[in-house]
Amino acid sequence: MIEVKDLIFSYGKDKQALHGLNFTVGDGEIFGFLGPNGSGKSTTQKILTGILKGHSGYVSLFGQNISTAHTQDFFQKIGVLFEFPYLYENLSAIDNLKYFSSFYPANQCRDIGEILEKLEFKTDFLKKPVSSYSKGMRQRVSMARALISSPKLLFLDEPTSGLDPSGAVLFRKIIEEERKKGTTVFLTTHNMLDADLLCDRVAFITKGNIVALDTPKRLKEQNSNQRVRIAYLYQGKREEKTVEIPELERGIPFRHDEIISIHSEEPTLEDMFIQYTGRRLS
């Protein structure tokens, strides 16, 4: 679906933002693009969506070189949720979505009421202007905008930003539903929980270079220290010990009366992010 080879981009003469990116995204895959502030995520997404011109290297979407493929047909196949919602402040959710739908063939568009209902948008705000909306409500309208044209390829930049935990769960459910329909998703985020729960593969980008690319599971396994932490009771006292996993093949290798808990010391995706990018999440 997406093929990127030796992608280089500079803002002017002095500021090279991307230093030769290589990756592919398969049909129906959810691909996470993860990196700290200023690493080049938005620049990459803007190039892929045709907003930013002047890259070098090869980028194809739907098997077409994007340098020549930015036709109406191309734009009609993609949906984009931008990090900062691009919505008309004086228009309501319904009127914004009517306007954005008008760029697509009518038979391609989803029903505005249905999609907003699915996104649990507050019905009493449907006809009020966007300027009166909370961040979470704006995010719902932006998501509706990205989905309205039934895109085959969806670009989502920080989709759960500004949502409370139940809103984030709802958005993840909706993204999963898109995957089931066969939609390909390019997900740009700082949110390691979203990436871990949703992505088939993730790329870590830092200073314009991809420094790791694999499934979240393999990234964590490759860096696993193969240890578990065991909490137990012995002679009435609670104790904890760290044990190498192979040692457990012969049973618990120390005296104990009762095992309370066993926790893997497998790293989280956030640990991997910090290890590969050298930066904390905030």
Ligand X SMILES: Nc1ncnc2c1ncn2[C@@H]1O[C@H](COP(=O)(O)OP(=O)(O)OP(=O)(O)O)[C@@H](O)[C@H]1O
Interface contacts to ligand X, rule CB under 6 A? 11, 15, 17, 35, 37-43
Burial environment of residue 124 by CB neighbours within 10 A (0 to 12, 13 to 18, 19 or more)? exposed
Instruction: Please state the closest distance from residue 17 (CB atom) to ligand X, in A.
Output: 4
Rounded Cα–Cα distance for residues 143 and 146 (Å): 5
> Which of 127, 123, 119 lies closest to 90 in space, CA to CA?
127
At residue 103's C-alpha, the angle toward residues 53 and 52, to 5°, is 10
Instruction: Please state the closest distance from residue 14 (CB atom) to ligand X, in A.
Output: 9
39 neighbors 100 (Cβ within 8 angstroms):
no
Instruction: Please state the closest distance from residue 3 (CB atom) to ligand X, in A.
Output: 20
Nearer to ligand X, 245 or 281 (CB): 281
Instruction: Please state the closest distance from residue 15 (CB atom) to ligand X, in A.
Output: 5
Q: What is the sign of the dihedral through the CA atoms of 151, 185, 55 and 6?
A: negative
Residue 168 has phi, psi (to 5 degrees) of: -65, -40
Nearer to ligand X, 86 or 103 (CB): 86
What is the DSSP pairing of strand 209-214 with strand 201-206? antiparallel
Rounded Cα–Cα distance for residues 27 and 41 (Å): 21
Nearer to ligand X, 51 or 248 (CB): 51
Nearer to ligand X, 112 or 157 (CB): 157
The number of beta carbons lying within 10 Å of the beta carbon of residue 253 is: 13
Instruction: Please state the closest distance from residue 180 (CB atom) to ligand X, in A.
Output: 29
Nearer to ligand X, 39 or 101 (CB): 39
Instruction: Please state the closest distance from residue 83 (CB atom) to ligand X, in A.
Output: 6
Nearer to ligand X, 45 or 96 (CB): 45
> Which of 50, 45, 125, 114 lies closest to 81 in space, CA to CA?
45
